[in-house]
Structures are given as C-alpha cells and as structure tokens.
Amino acid sequence: MTTRYGVQHVGDVDVFYREAGSRDAPVILLLHGFPTASHMFRDLIPLLADRFRLIAPDLPGFGQTKAPPRGTFDYTFDRLADVIEGFTEAMSLDRYALYIFDYGAPVGLRLAMRHPERVSAIISQNGNAYVEGFSDEWGPWEAYWREPNAVNREACRPSLAPDTIRNWQYGTGANPDLLSPDGYELDIAYMARPGAEEIQLDLILNYHSNVALYPAFQSYFREHRPPLLAVWGRHDPAFLPAGAVAYQRDLPDARVHLLDAGHFALETHAEEVATLMRAFLDSAIDPATVKT
C-alpha cells in the first residue's frame, strides 16, 4: 500500500510525517527515537497498512520536521510532547495505539498520561520506562545530568559521532547480513547538519527529566491498564531486556518478546515485529470502538 507524506503545522513547528492505510482504520502513532526519524518505520509501515492507519511524525530536531533554532525553541522532552500532542489534535486523532521506541517512549508516555482515554494500546520496542532497563553505558550522560557543565557536555559529543551511530547504535547485536546502510547513513547525514549536534546535546541533558517521570509512567500503567506489547532487541547496548520484563510488574498481562536483534530491531526484524503487532492489536483493539 502506498505511503503518503505530508507536513502539519503545529504552532511554529512544521511537522513532517509519513502515513499509510485507510483513514477509517484503527490508528497506530509511531514515535521514533534517537538519532533517527520516521524513516526507521519504512519497512514496518507497508506490512501493517492493510489493517491499520499508520502515522509516523518526525520529532522537532529530527528528520524533515522544521522547528525554530535553539534559543527560540526549547529542545526538551516536555516541548517535544507538546508538539506531538498538537500534531495529534491537528490530525484529529482521537484514539490510537502508541508505538514507542527510545526517545519516542518518554514523548509518547507523556501523551498517554495527559490523555489516557486516547490510547488504545502500547507497543514498546526498546522504549524504556524502568531503571532496570539501563545498561552500564550511560556514564557520560549521567555525569552531564549531575553536573551540566561544558566539560561534561563535550564528553557526550562522541555519542553523536558517525562511528558511534553506525557501529554501536545500529551495529551492536545486529546481523550484518541483514543490516542495510540506509538507516544509519541517513541518520549520520542528519546529524551533520548545522546546529544538529547542539540540539541533540540539549536533549541529552534534558533526558534526566524522563527518568524522573518513571514513577509517574508506572503509576499510569497501574491506573489505566493499557494493553501492552514489549518487543525488544535483546542485544540493545543501551536498554537491557530487563526493561522489557519490568513492564509486567505494573501490567501483569503485558506480552514480552525478546528478539535476536539490537537497538534498531526494525532494521533486521521488521517482519517479526509486524507479525507480533498484528496478533497483539487484533486482540487488544475492538474495531467497533475505534474513532479516527
């Protein structure tokens, strides 16, 4: 099924998005992570568009979304959530399943807490909401959170380097025979744009706000009981499988599947993820109750 592309104006931000599927179908809102954009869903979207309406926006500071420069726009996770909330309202999305990955997790879970009635289900693909999910690779970021000075900011800059994106973020735990260069080379090109690194360093500093919200996210799970599928690349160097299993502490009925994949599981396992999502959503969502 053909993928459509558009731009939705949300205040002073022009949100680029890709979309496929019937406009009358149940909606899946796909929220990407760092350092990528909606192109990470390029293989998944066609596999589900016969049954669902899939909408994948680029967050401010990423991909093709156009946002004001630093100094006139606050690159924080609260602000990213504000923009995506405005995007969903401008698109008249009253009910949707959330696909949350990496940075998309704290953005999407902020939306879920603000409007729990809108969320029909959650698919977390290496989207962390528990401290158990952190690996021991977060040292420079955590030091920057504790002491936000210039030295610690510079110590985080290697996280944005081409080799880190290519070999650590994408390559760790991924079958090299299945890993296309398309995703990581486009991410590297986006990171090379003027001002991109400084925006990303601002977001790295603000990431501590997500960890502070973990208890609130977990309270949301317990109170509202959204159907949840955690499908996780087990070789993720940043977010460990324990972060997937932890969802079952607050959502005992959550389904957990660990894939033989890395952080960017869709790059190598899009078909497996689509199969799991289709079975999960067909049981979690009653089409007769869905408004789009």
Which value, in Å, is the radius of gyration of the alpha carbons in the chain?
Answer: 18
pLDDT tens digit string along 103-136?
999 999 999 999 999 999 999 999 999 999 999 9
The pLDDT of residue 286 is 63
- Ranges of residues in the chain whose predicted pLDDT is under 70: 1, 286-292
Indicate the helix (H) or strand (E) that contains 211: helix 208-224
Domains annotated on the chain, with CATH: 4-138+212-289 (3.40.50.1820)
The number of residues in the chain equals 292
The pLDDT of residue 285 is 80
- Looking only at the bridges linking them, the beta strands covering 27-31 and 228-233 are unpaired
DSSP 55-82: EEEPPTTSTT-B-PPBTTB--SHHHHHH
- Look at residues 67, 73, 80 and name the one whose alpha carbon lies nearest to residue 34: 80
Instruction: Cite the active site residues.
Output: 263
Angle at 51 between CA 107 and CA 18, to 5 degrees: 45
Which pTM does this prediction carry? 0.96
